[in-house]
Amino acid sequence: MNGFASGLMEALLRDSAFILPQLFLAGLGTLMLWPGDLLFHKGEKHKWAPVTGAILIVVLALVFRTPEGTGFSGMYRVDGLTKGFQILSILGALGAVALSQRLLNALKEQTVEYYALILFSLSGMLFLCGAVDFVSFYFSLELMAICIYILVAYLRKQERGVEAGLKYFLLGAFSSGLLLYGISLLFAATGGKTTNFAEMGQLLPVVSQSNTLLVGAGVLMVLVGLGFKVAAVPFHMWSPDAYEGAPTPITAFMATAPKAASLAAFIRVFQTALPGVADQWMLPLGYVAAASMILGNVAAIKQQSMKRLLAYSSIAHVGYMLLGVMCGPEGAQATWLYMATYLVMNFGAFAIVIHLQGTGEGERIEDFRGLKDRHPFLAFAMMVFLLSLAGIPPLVGFFGKFYLFQMAVTQGHITLVTIAFLTSVVSAFYYLGVVNQMYFKDAPALAEGAEPEATGMATTVIVTVACVLVLLGTGFAKPLLEWAGGIGSEKKASQVALR
Amino acid sequence: MTYAWLIPVLPLLGFLVNLLVGKKVGKGFVTAVAVGSVTLSFILAVRLFLAMKGADGHRLDLAYFTWMQTGALTVPFGFTVDPLSGTMMLVITGIGLLIHLYSVGYMHEEEGYYRYFAYLNLFVFFMLTLVLGDSLVLMFVGWEGVGLCSYLLIGYYFETDYAPDAGLKAFLTNRVGDLGVAIGMMALFAAFGTLTVSGILTQAGHLAPEVGFGFLTFATLMLFVGATGKSAQLPLYLWLPDAMAGPTPVSALIHAATMVTSGIYLICRLAPVFQLTPTTLTVVAWVGGLTALFAATIGLFQRDIKKVLAYSTVSQLGFMFLGLGATGFAAGFFHVFTHAWFKALLFLGAGSVIHALHHQQDLFKMGGLKSKTPVTFWTMLIATFAIMGLPPFSGFFSKDEILYLAYLKSPLLWVIGVVAACCTSFYMWRLMALTFWGEPRDHHAYDHAHESPKTMTVPLMVLAVGSALFGFWGVPEAFGGHFAIGEWLKPALTFGQLHGEHGHHAGPAIALAATSTVLGVIFGLFGWFKYKDGLAWEEGFIAKFPAVHRVLLNKYYVDEAVELTILGPLRWFGNVCWKLFDVILIDGVGVNLPAALTKVAGDFVALFQTGRVRNYVFTMGLGVAALLYMLLK
């Protein structure tokens, strides 16, 4: 007995090296709530933003240093895929924290819980990126999601935020139910033997031959659950509402960090656990991807609110990234690259929306009228971000699309790539609409003597960095691809090891 | 050749400097940066051109670094200078420089002076990237970049209602074309496994021409779709006439001399691949020929001086495609070259007239300017001779070569071309007569008219020399020359392979040239006689054939048809998607959002009662059902 306990202890200590970033996040997050909360007085809560930022930077460094390998009885794995998407999630959180300070100050809504929740949620994402077992996968997913439900409803005095949070929660619970149901079906299909992705990957193709419906239904339910998390059509309904209702930094956060983690999970589930039954999910996933591209881009045309526009645009971008999920191991790096470029341009755009919101100019598209006169730099940067989102070369958005589409063509997804191309043409329609407002429409008259408010430090830094990256990122295509190549090849290595 | 990268980068720096500090510093500084950067770039371009001419095989490959590299895909970042790109590079920097100089005078009163020059420099940068790029990816970067600059410059007069819309229209129409380029690129990658131009062309040399409709035909057709977008051919020409909302020098540089010819350039660049696909070439020839005719007829009765020139550009671009389609790649490019000079000159001349009359663009309000603006008159006269194809002006040689090749392809194409050329002569002489001859129809404007400043007239004169003389670069064999430009371009267009290009038989060449020239002169004279004394003839024509006139004036109602059949339904569809998901399903059951929000304030029960979440779940359930159905069927 004693031997078992010490053996367990030893294994835990050994494996904890893999999850050091998560331990760090969860530990400091807890300490922040108490006694950390006593550190700053009521009026000084905004100082939590730089503290959280510092924690995130340390976590980023820890992720780079984490050893690669599998631990916790094959439940958690660190490899190129894990690290690649973990980095994106952390960057997403970092951006959200940087943008939060000013806005929350203006609303007098600074509390330590806000920042702690971001940390907890992030730890869930980091787990999710490395989850290689349906049990750890599900726990990570819920840890991530539950914190976000609260964050969406964080501005509790604003009705639409509370409503959005509740809606998101209810629908999330529903989708979790479906996901769990799907997992249990797959578990049953293995004869109750395993929930491990790799082992399932070997068992399922065999079972599938005799019991197609059981496996197929399980696969579909998992697809629905994951589709909900990344807001793919037709499981996207929550996202425009949640995006609009949430505090805008949280909107930016939701559009990037959890999406990156969920995509990592998407890739793992479909490429490790379910590649053998690809004929069961390839077609449905293709339909989901196509529907996301079409509906996301078309519905965005009519939007009046910038946040809703970006929500629909995000749905569309998810559609493109699902195309990468369908492309096997090489698709993983294309997806990662796309997500990385999307993260940069998305944060740039949100930083500007948040700035305008903070100065009371609001978030409606018509509030962008004549921005070039009030904030020449912001207008220029916004144009760069929007054009990049539309995939215009030589901006990074084009590079991400080009690489992803090219990958999909070599894998034979011609119809989907054609739809992707067509819808990206449509997307230019609404992105350019905003540019038109900024550059070719007159600004509403400022009050007498009023000066446009200067941009804060965080906004300036984020917008500048993002703008430079979007403009010049394509120039670094080669080193980026080499780095991202690690994501695909690690994946291959892991598959080889399993055989 | 280490300086070669400076050629595009200098204008880029000019753009950055002017964008960042242009608003604060004076116009003198902006001018110095903008014009200076293009001048330096032009000087370096000449040096590079001469270096290329001296190089082995007239070709310089300047590889800088590997841009992208993974698995099957390797994309280098580098420039190729050969006779084709070299000539184009000189045209861009040379005519670009003249137009920068001209703009100094034309735009001197504008508040957005710095913005204008910044965009113009950016355009030169992207255009050079497009031309010099050694891979389709880099060319595509330039291709989209020039589209962006075009959009920004068309919308330059944003105080007007129509300019921003025209810019948007140009950009979106081009996106449709770009879709073709992107698909064509992917297809070529699938076929050849590389995206470098030299890689594709080397492999293409080993293939036999494709009969009927094969994969390469698909690829080249897609590229041609892109070319129709950028080069304003049927059916994607709609944006170009509207693009005239931009400042006139922009129309001259972007929408006449350079950007709009990039579709032709793209096809010339990949000429050996297009040689393999006769089906595509036939399509190119017919689309080109029909566009030439179609646009020329619309140009007959336009009242806006720039609109006439815009349709004329569409029509001339059609001629170029007609040449390409008749496998006369050199002939098509020759016309690009001569057209760049005389059409830029026509636009700048029109700009000079507009400038003199204080932004009057209506031909019906001009008249009698011959003595008031002599330099503009004489230079535009030379350009008119060139465009109508009067020997020995430049347009004669290039157009004649195209018509001759069109005749060899199909006599019907020749007839179409000649009719279009007759229309060209007519509308050009109508334009000239209405502008410079007769009585002034707006006395106030006429009295204040004056010749433009030197910075505007000198470029006109330089362009006039080019318009008059550059045709001698391609005197066909039938006229005792040896079509020097064809020889010059040969290494670039055939890439070492020797199939294609027709051997010249002098047989019908002289007879054909004589027929088309004489017809052109007759129609030109007709136009001049009818209009030199005023509007009487046109009024008579309207009275006699009101329907014909109305249809032509309204451009065959194509814009309206597009609105009705494409844009309207698209907006409707967007509306439906939005309504279906946001309004009906979300706000559901007759509860609108604000009312619902008020009701649910803190009252969660009320939230459930609106039924909205239920509707969400319903949609998700539908989705699950649909996927399950897919599984079961």
Residue A386 or residue B173, greater confidence: A386
For B581, which of A299, A405, A439 is closest by C-beta distance? A299
Scan residues 374-433 of A and list those with Cβ closer than 8 Å to B: 376, 380, 387, 392-394, 398-399, 402-403, 405-406, 409-410, 417-418, 421-422, 425-426, 428-429, 432-433
* pLDDT for position B120: 92
Could you list the mean pLDDT of each consecutive 10-residue stretch along chain B, which spans 633 residues?
86 89 84 93 93 84 78 80 91 92 86 88 93 90 89 84 82 84 86 87 82 84 91 85 87 88 92 89 93 90 89 93 90 92 92 86 84 90 91 88 88 92 92 87 81 87 90 79 80 64 61 87 88 81 82 77 71 64 47 42 34 69 81 73
Token code pair at residue A319: 């559609």
The whole-angstrom separation of Cα A201 and Cα B488 is 62
* pLDDT for position B266: 93
Note whether B600 contacts A159, CB cutoff 8 Å: yes
CA-based nearest distance B311→chain A, Å: 26
What b/e sequence results for A193-228 when a residue is b if at least 16 CB atoms lie within 10 Å of its CB, and e otherwise?
ebbbbbbbbebbbebbeeeeeebbbbbbbbbbbbbb
CA-based nearest distance B314→chain A, Å: 24
For A159, which of B601, B616, B620 is closest by C-beta distance? B601
Residues in chain A within 8 Å Cβ distance of B222: none
- Percent of chain A clearing pLDDT 70 (strictly above): 95
Mutate to test the interface with B, among A163, A274, A313, A375 (most CBs of B within 10 A): A163
| B68 and A CB contact within 8 Å | yes
* pLDDT for position B90: 93
pLDDT at A143 over 70: yes
| B179 and A CB contact within 8 Å | yes
Sign of the alpha-carbon dihedral angle for A215, A221, A224, A228: negative
Average pLDDT, chain A: 86
In angstroms, the Cα distances linking B502 to B112, B328, B330 are 51, 8, 11
For A163, which of B151, B607, B632 is closest by C-beta distance? B607
| B111 and A CB contact within 8 Å | no
Mutate to test the interface with A, among B144, B620, B628 (most CBs of A within 10 A): B620
Residue A314 or residue B440, greater confidence: A314
Residues in chain B within 8 Å Cβ distance of A171: 613, 616-617, 620
pLDDT at A60 over 90: yes
Residue B68: closest CA among chain A residues belongs to which residue? A478
Mutate to test the interface with B, among A407, A435, A440 (most CBs of B within 10 A): A440
* B27 alpha-carbon distance from chain centroid: 29
The whole-angstrom separation of Cα A419 and Cα B570 is 16
The whole-angstrom separation of Cα B194 and Cα B189 is 5
Note whether B586 contacts A241, CB cutoff 8 Å: yes
Scan residues 586-615 of B and list those with Cβ closer than 8 Å to A: 586, 597-598, 600-602, 604, 607, 612-613
The whole-angstrom separation of Cα A332 and Cα A321 is 9
The whole-angstrom separation of Cα B97 and Cα A398 is 31
- ipTM greater than cut 0.85: no
Residues in chain A within 8 Å Cβ distance of B574: 298-299, 301-302
Q: Name the pairing type of β-strands B60-70 and B73-81.
A: antiparallel
Element (H, E) at B79: strand B73-81
CA-based nearest distance B136→chain A, Å: 12
Note whether A235 contacts B623, CB cutoff 8 Å: yes
Q: How many CA atoms lie within 13 A of B288 on its CB side?
A: 33
**Domain limits, chain A:** 17-496
* B90 alpha-carbon distance from chain centroid: 18
pTM for this structure? 0.81
Q: What is the mean pLDDT of residues A213-217?
A: 88
* pLDDT for position B384: 93
Note whether A406 contacts B73, CB cutoff 8 Å: yes
